[in-house]
Amino acid sequence: MTARTSNFTSGVSELLILRLLSEREMYGYELAKTVQAVTRREIRLGEGLLYPTLHGLELEGLLRSRRESVAGRPRIYYRATAAGRKRLAKLMYQWRRASAAVSSALGEKAHA
Amino acid sequence: MPEKEFASLKERLLRGGVAPRQVERLLLELKTHAAALLDEEIARGQPLEAARALARSRLGSDDEILAKALEQRALMSWGARWPVIVCALLPPAGLLALSVGTVSALVAIAALGQHWNSDPASWGLGVWPWAHQGTLLIAWLALYGFPVLCTLLLVRYTVTRRLGLAWPLVGVLLTAALGAWTTFTVAWPQAGAQGRLSAGVGFSTDWDSLMRFGVRWATTVILALGLYLYMRRREHEVWQALGKHRM
């Protein structure tokens, strides 16, 4: 098991959450699993930490949710709104710039 | 996952200023997630206690979840974000609005009554005896009930959101003072004389007025503080039952 990534900042979690939820709706447990899968388990966070971020994004109007009960357990499904997709585009642009800048500082060649 | 553990997190989130609605939802999702993690660990062949510990570890510690929640300003209650406005200014403003709204509603009802009954002689008790009593009751409520209602709602809001006492206390004192200064009179129409509804805020320095002000103000404040102490005591008992020290 990879150690939990301590510098998993809220900006990065916001980016990942918006990216995944702009593709399809997911509930928290499913989202946590998907984050691990798409980051090849390199990024691990306390899975419960997803929820404050999800709720904050929803209150900002970047996500919307719907509640459903599955096998007697409540599930809240989230998906990105149009405003959320706009924010995602902005965050992706910022991330790529920052990533390119760090790579440059480390003396790595830019990817084609 | 022990329920007690979530109860402790709930209390810490509330004390951190997270709105109760957000806390309830957060806990609901955490419990569901914890149950799914527990199922997953048991399915992997872990014994129950080990599965519980692993599920808890994967969920994140209370400290981590709390810190993450407190990063999200949008999750905070209004009282935690703007304590002066919500706790000190809004209650007296609410009382004022309630009083003005009541007088306006009564005036509108009286105007409608006059519109339907064009004979001034019939506006009196003979036509609508219930209206007289009803108006007096509403006036009494506006004088004595509304200040108490506003301060009790403020106290309940304060305790359920675990807010500090300073600004709510200012709100209680101001609301009680405004309520005690408010006058509300109803002069019912008599033969040859029109009725009159009036409300105002005034302060008189004569002894009787000061006494009336003092009794009304003190009654409201004592009721509010009594409810505050009662609710805090119950909250304290719950917290102690969790085996935690007060934060």
Q: Describe the strand order of the beta sheet including A26-27 as a list of residue ranges.
A: A26-27, A73-80, A63-70
Q: Does some domain include residue A2?
A: no
Looking at the whole model, is its pTM more than 0.90?
no
**Cα distances (Å, whole numbers) of residue A20 to A50, A58, B93, B230:** 13, 15, 45, 48
- Rounded distance, CA A79 to CA A25, Å? 4
Q: Which residue has the higher pLDDT, B101 or A112?
A: B101
pLDDT of residue B138: 82
Q: Which of A51, A53, A66 to mutate to test the interface with B (most CBs of B within 10 A)?
A: A51
pLDDT of residue A7: 43
Token readout for B39 is 């199922």
- Residue numbers of the domain that contains A79: 10-105
- The partner residue sitting opposite A51, judged by closest CB among B26, B36, B73, is B26
In degrees rounded to 5, what are phi and psi of residue B190? -115, 165
Residues of B in contact with A33 (CB under 8 A): none
Biggest distance spanned by C-alpha atoms of chain B: 92
Cβ–Cβ under 8 Å, residues A60 and A78? no
Report whether pLDDT(B189) > 70. Answer: no
Kindly state the DSSP code that residue B111 receives in the 8-state scheme: H
- Rounded distance, CA B151 to CA B140, Å? 17
Q: Does some domain include residue A1?
A: no
Q: Does some domain include residue A22?
A: yes
Rounded to a whole number of angstroms, the distance from the CA of B76 to the nearest CA of chain A is: 10
Q: Cβ of B183: how many Cβ atoms within 10 Å? A: 15
In degrees rounded to 5, what are phi and psi of residue B205? -100, 5
- The partner residue sitting opposite A53, judged by closest CB among B58, B64, B68, is B68
Residues of B in contact with A52 (CB under 8 A): 26, 65, 68-69, 71-72, 75
Q: Which of B22, B27, B58 to mutate to test the interface with A (most CBs of A within 10 A)?
A: B58
* Average confidence (pLDDT) per 10 residues, chain A, 112 residues: 46 89 95 88 80 95 94 91 96 89 79 50
Task: Residue A16: give its domain's CATH number.
Answer: 1.10.10.10
Domain count along chain A: 1
Report whether pLDDT(B213) > 60. Answer: yes
Map tokens 């009790």 to a residue.
B152
Q: Does some domain include residue A89?
A: yes
Q: Does some domain include residue A111?
A: no
Q: Does some domain include residue A4?
A: no
Q: Does some domain include residue A112?
A: no
pLDDT tens per residue across span B13-47: 999 999 999 999 999 999 999 999 999 999 999 99
B44 touches chain A (CB under 8 A): no
How does residue B244 score in pLDDT terms, banded at 50, 70 and 90? low
Q: Which residue has the higher pLDDT, B108 or A53?
A: A53
Q: Cβ of A45: how many Cβ atoms within 10 Å? A: 22
